[in-house]
Chains A and B, each alone.
Chain A
Amino acid sequence: MSNLLANLGVAAGALDAFTQVLQVTQNNVANASTPGYARQTQTLNALPFNATFGDAGGVKAGVIESARDEYAETAVRQQNVLLGAASQNVSSLTSLQTIFDISGNTGIPYALNNLLQSFSAWGQSPTDPNARQLVIDRATDLAGAFNEAASGLGTVAQDAEQQIGITVTEINQLVGQLQQYNTQIMGGDNNDAGLDAQVHSTLEQLSQYGDIGASQQENGSWTVMLGQTQLLVGAQQYQISNDMEEPSNPPPTNANAPPLAVIRGADGTDITSTITTGQLGALLNFRNAVLPSYIGDAYQQGGLNIMAQQLADRVNGLLTAGNVSDGPPAQTGTALFSYDQTNATNVAQSLTVNSATTADQLAAIDPGPPEVSNGVPLALSALANPQSAADEIDGVSYSSYYGNMASNVGSLLSEATDEQQVQQSAVAQAQNLRQQSSGVDLDQEAMTLVEFQRAYDANSRLISVLDQVTEDAVNIISVTTG
Chain B
Amino acid sequence: MASGVIESLRRVHRELEQVCEMLLRPSPEALNDCEQRLARATVEMEASRPAWSEAARDRQAGEQARLVRHSLHHAQRLLENAARFHAGWRRRRAAMNGEYRADGSIPDLRCPARIFVEG
| A479 and B66 alpha carbons, distance in the complex (Å) | 12
Residues of B within 8 A of A422 (CB): 73-74, 77-78
| A460 and B24 alpha carbons, distance in the complex (Å) | 16
- Which segment, of A133-141, A163-171, A208-216, A449-457, faces chain B? A449-457
- Which segment, of A199-207, A387-395, A469-477, faces chain B? A469-477
| A467 and B16 alpha carbons, distance in the complex (Å) | 12
Q: State the interface size on chain B (CB cutoff 8 A).
A: 62
Contact partner of A443 (CB less than 8 A), chosen from B77, B86, B101, is B101
| A63 and B81 alpha carbons, distance in the complex (Å) | 34
Given contacts A452-B28, A459-B79, A462-B39, contact A473 B101 (CB under 8 A): no
| A61 and B119 alpha carbons, distance in the complex (Å) | 36
Residues of A within 8 A of B78 (CB): 422, 425-426, 429
Is A418 in the interface zone, CB < 8 Å from B? yes
Residues of A within 8 A of B41 (CB): 466
Q: Does A442 lie within 8 Å of B20, measured CB to CB?
A: no
Q: Does A480 lie within 8 Å of B57, measured CB to CB?
A: yes
Residues of A within 8 A of B38 (CB): 459, 462-463, 466
User: In chain A, what residue has the closest Cβ to B93?
Assistant: A442
Q: Does A470 lie within 8 Å of B49, measured CB to CB?
A: no
CB contacts under 8 Å to B, within A140-190, are none
User: In chain B, what residue has the closest Cβ to A423?
Assistant: B77
Is A289 in the interface zone, CB < 8 Å from B? no
Is A2 in the interface zone, CB < 8 Å from B? no
| A462 and B96 alpha carbons, distance in the complex (Å) | 33
Q: Does B24 lie within 8 Å of A428, measured CB to CB?
A: yes
Q: Does A456 lie within 8 Å of B86, measured CB to CB?
A: yes
Q: Does A446 lie within 8 Å of B109, measured CB to CB?
A: yes
Contact partner of A75 (CB less than 8 A), chosen from B79, B85, B93, is B85
Given contacts A446-B107, A477-B5, A478-B66, contact A425 B88 (CB under 8 A): no
Interchain residue pairs A-B with the least CB separation, the first 3: A455-B31, A481-B62, A462-B38
14 additional contacts (CB under 8 A) given A433-B26, A442-B97, A455-B32? A71-B89, A71-B92, A422-B73, A425-B78, A429-B82, A446-B99, A446-B107, A455-B28, A455-B34, A462-B42, A466-B72, A473-B69, A477-B55, A478-B66
